[in-house]
Structure 1
Amino acid sequence: MTEQDPNALRTPQALHELPAAALIEAFRRRELSPVEVTQSVLGHIERWEHHLRALYLLRPELALQQARESEARWRKGEPLGPLDGVPVTIKDNIATRGDPTPLGTAAVDLTPAAADAPPAARLKESGAVLVAKTTMPDYGMLSSGLSSFHKLARNPWDRSKTPGGSSAGAGAAAAAGYGPLHLGTDIGGSLRLPAGWCGIFTLKPSLGRVPIDPPYMGRAAGPMTRSVGDSALLMQVLSLPDSRDSMNLPYQEIAWEQFDRGVERLRGLRIGLLLEAGCGLAVEPEVRAAVEHAARLFERAGAVVAPMQPFMTQTMLDGMDHFWRMRSHIDMKGLPPAKKARVLPYIQHWADSAAGMSGEAVFKAFSQFHATRLAAVSGCRHFDYVISPTSPVPAPPAEWASPTNDPLRPLEHIGFTVPFNMSEQPAASINCGYTSGGLPIGLQIAGQRFDDLGVLQVSRAFELIREAQRPWPQPPSEALQHVD
């Protein structure tokens, strides 16, 4: 059984759930107003947010003012761009002019940003309505909604579980229906892990496809949405050039609107099936079974699926972990003691464990980034696309900093995601099933470098062939005691 087209209009009573493309068409036909859509999103947030704690800087009046300005433009037939009037959220660490950028930690001074970072600038230029920013853990270094600055973010599917991270609030907001479009970042899995654990879709683009400031090795910004189509629409805007990103790819006009090539797009594709990461946590049986089932669906659609041997090693994962520890140790060493004390103890313990590393040890740790890049490129070279679990395990408890909850084993769950940051390849996460307890299971779809559109097309084809999805979670009854 295939799912309903996620781009189809639903009922007028569920405006906050409408896909972005449907909203734009309704604005164009004057069947809906950006104001009433924004009001619906804000009302839905009011019912959900005290249970989830996904948002930062929620300012309803400011959002409504933007919506009124968009409504006036649509009345004149002069929309600013492809997203005019569509509600969006932006992750805490993507600067928005005039707003503090706390990076999820109480240790950062709340200084207003002087300018919009490139992704935020593109959204504003397109006329999108910024409803709020979304929460993240300290410095973005956890796959969790645990933060010393923000309240604990929770997973809408099961509020005792984490939404993942570091794009924690964005993942929860998308799954909870806080409007159609959400923007996060990823340096080792921070888009894909919350997407997998929250049952939504994301694309980590090829490095440099979406300009970002500040740029960093492996760092990417990308869309987090309920459907592939909404991510494709968001990529039209996010991929526009910006000279502030020294790692930006040369601008390329990509036909993002051609994301839907149907199931026929899968016929004859060579797809690698990666069921073991080669490092970190073992894949849990329910996760493995869901990914194997997805592989069978690809085969039935005409793809040639072949098993892959792991290309990552524990040495690679540990090396990247240790280098990031040293980077964070140096950052926190520069903080006054009182400010460092505000950082999550888990992060402090993790970073301070690098204090005794020698220069030789740091060099060897850093060399594992390049070793990972070489291994990923070599491991994928015989395939058009590679499918794997997004995470080896379902969402862990909300209060845990990571699936191990051990600061000396913090990255054991990113063995499937991190190699594609270092190899600069595009990689998506899309829901492929549920655990017996009802938690989503993410399927990662990775492509060759620069093939962002191809990854979207393959993801859309899978969206069409997978089983019908469960209804999105809804706010609990107000008669029930909520979780803070």
Structure 2
Amino acid sequence: MHALTAAELGPLYRSGELSPVEVVRAVIAQVERLEPRLHATWAFAPEAALAAAAASEARHRRGAPLSALDGVPVMPKENIGTRGLPKPLGCAAVDCVPEPEHSPPAARLDEAGCVFVARTTMPDYGMLSSGLSSLHAAARNPWNPERTPGGSSAGAGAAAAAGYGPLHLGTDIGGSIRLPAGWCGVVGFKPSLGRIPIDPPYAGRCAGPMTRCVADAALMMAVLARPDWRDASSLPPQDIAWDRLDDIELRGLRLALLLDAGWGLPLDPEHAAVVCAAARVFEAAGCIVEPLAPFTTPAMAAGIDRFWRMRSWLDLQALAPERRERVLPFIRDWAAPAAGYGAADVFHGHAQMAALRDAAVAACRRFDFVLSPVAPVPAFPALYASPTNDPASAMAHIGFTLPFNMSEQPAISVPAGMTADGLPIGLQIAGARHDDLGVLRLARAWERLRPPLPPWPMT
């Protein structure tokens, strides 16, 4: 039962064939069985989850579920504020004070009747694409626990692949949903900026679903995309047919194929082969596929890196020295050069966000969607902070994901294949700004077209 999708659970709950209590018990058992190896969760609360499941069961018996997700287990990332729980941000230096209220994404899931089973882990401040943390044991990849699940939505990627229930919620500012989704072989959707209200909002920052299938991601979007006044940058509410995933005509769609990010690590040949094979499948289905030249420059990437280093350095300087020492050394070393930056360095670094946004929108405007790798390399060792494990090149692997945060375009990672040694490879599909439904529809079409994938790990 722990492996059933949300799309499958809803009808079974409504017919009485399954109970939310039975399903939540099965998820709890799966977590207890695998957590000693994966370290994907924090604030695991089985008793509270069973009480919420019993309340959902009663609503279903009355024929009055709160939504299509009533009684479905969910695990938000630990930086999604939930009432009564602290928000440690994966870092031993954070002063953990209980949150007074749900953040917008948690509030929508709670209103929908979802059952919160646990929160999923992340690296310090979400500043790494790995599961390394000064607060938690390093999160592991279910396909190979010696490898990272990616990050910063590290626990969410691992939990989704390991069958800790169907619904997981991550956040993404440079690839933090799509990278772990790609490396863990699950679906990870970064919507258009503002589609899901979030608190606090920030340039490029999105919350989004991490699930085992596109249909479940769409079910989450129907709930998460509801308005919340606390995000002043959120998009106006729209009546989007999230349940109409099959309404897409592939013949004649113009798809770009991006195989060179323009900077960062070179593309691994196995990843290139899987993405090119996906492009050929779409071509056979009637799409028009054309190569897309790189549009991100090393100067853009370096500028954004400088800006983020300064932001982190200021955060670290605000801590008392003894608390600062608790932050992962890799992050302290990465931020340290910002001590020598001047105002012009930071201003020009920030300006590269707009430069990358404009370049991405201009490059993509001739196409309906863009196909690319999610990451240039496979999942790296679990105790590395990044693929290079070098603070000087901490961002070298986000060349394919970062542009679509800065451009505010929706982008999704969907499983596309495996490396020779059994590690997942993700396909990224990006769409025009605000065409969230179109991206989900093309991803759903890919699920139907792609070759068979291996069974889920750790079953």
Look up the match of 2:386: 402
Look up the match of 1:437: 421
Aligned 8 A contact 1:265 1:457 in 2? no
1:34-74 Cα deviation digits (max 9, x unpaired): 00000011111111111100000001101000000101111
Aligned positions of 1:464-475 closer than 5 A: 464-474=448-458
Superposition misfits of 4+ residues, deviation over 4 angstroms:
none
The answer to whether residue 174 in structure 2 is matched with residue 188 in structure 1 is yes
- TM superposition shift of 1:469: 1.0
- TM superposition shift of 1:357: 0.3
Letter in 2 for 1:279: W
Distance 1:450 1:352 in 2: 37
Look up the match of 1:8: none
Q: SS where residue 330 of structure 1 aligns?
A: helix
1:2-31 Cα deviation digits (max 9, x unpaired): xxxxxxxxxxxxx01111011010010000
Distance 2:383 2:232 in 1: 37
Aligned 8 A contact 1:265 1:458 in 2? no
The answer to whether residue 44 in structure 2 is matched with residue 58 in structure 1 is yes
| Pairing partner for 2:145 from 146, 159, 162 | 159
Look up the match of 1:217: 203
1:221-271 Cα deviation digits (max 9, x unpaired): 00000000000001000000000001100011100000123xx63211000
Mind listing any 5+ residue stretches in structure 1 that lack a counterpart? 1-14, 476-484
Total equivalences in the alignment: 459
Look up the match of 1:30: 16
Look up the match of 1:327: 311
Letter in 1 for 2:253: L
| Pairing partner for 1:109 from 95, 107, 119 | 95
Q: SS where residue 261 of structure 2 aligns?
A: coil
Distance 2:139 2:377 in 1: 19
Q: In angstroms, what is the RMSD of aligned CA positions?
A: 0.7
Look up the match of 1:412: 396
Q: SS where residue 340 of structure 2 aligns?
A: coil
Aligned 8 A contact 1:265 1:461 in 2? no
Letter in 2 for 1:347: I
- TM superposition shift of 1:318: 0.9
Look up the match of 1:276: 260
Distance 1:353 1:155 in 2: 32
Aligned positions of 1:11-26 closer than 5 A: 15-26=1-12
Letter in 2 for 1:190: S
Q: SS where residue 444 of structure 1 aligns?
A: strand
Q: SS where residue 184 of structure 1 aligns?
A: strand
Distance 1:308 1:314 in 2: 17
Distance 2:9 2:301 in 1: 43
Q: SS where residue 110 of structure 1 aligns?
A: coil
Aligned-pair identity in percent equals: 61
1:394-446 Cα deviation digits (max 9, x unpaired): 10000000011101110000010001001000000011111011100011000
The answer to whether residue 95 in structure 2 is matched with residue 124 in structure 1 is no
TM-score (norm 1): 0.94
Look up the match of 2:133: 147
Q: SS where residue 249 of structure 2 aligns?
A: helix
Distance 1:79 1:465 in 2: 34
Aligned 8 A contact 1:297 1:465 in 2? yes
Distance 1:351 1:240 in 2: 36
| Pairing partner for 2:373 from 381, 389, 392 | 389
Look up the match of 1:231: 217
Letter in 2 for 1:413: H
Distance 1:151 1:103 in 2: 14
TM-score (norm 2): 0.99
Letter in 1 for 2:107: A
